[in-house]
Amino acid sequence: MSTLAIRLDPHAVDVTFEEAALHIILADGREISAPLEWFPRLRDATQAQRQHWRLIGKGIGVHWPDIDEDISVTTLMRNH
């Protein structure tokens, strides 16, 4: 019998959006999703502003400079 060893890595590597949701892809392949209603600045931002993001702290969070929004992966994971 084989055993699958999964190494969890909660660092963000990518960000995508749907009409009403934010999706953060983690290094280990998991995806965290949250409604944009939780983040009024992102909800009210233009698509160009939403797409202008950068990882902070080697992926422990995401920053949107155009709207001065920061989201911590750990905080988002606690809210699920």
How confident is the model over 25-42, as a mean pLDDT?
96
Name the helix (H) or strand (E) containing 24.
strand 21-26
Q: Give per-residue burial for 21-48: e unless 16+ CB within 10 Å, then b.
A: ebebebbeeeebebebeebeebeebeee
pLDDT in tens, 46-77: 999 999 999 999 999 999 999 999 999 998 98
How confident is the model over 38-48, as a mean pLDDT?
97
Give, in degrees to the nearest 5, the angle at Cα 23 between 61 and 27: 55
Q: Across-strand partners of 43?
A: none
Quote the pLDDT of residue 8: 85
Domains of the chain in sequence order: 12-78 (3.30.2020.40)
Higher pLDDT, 14 or 9: 14
Residue 40 phi/psi, 5-degree rounding, is: -55, -35
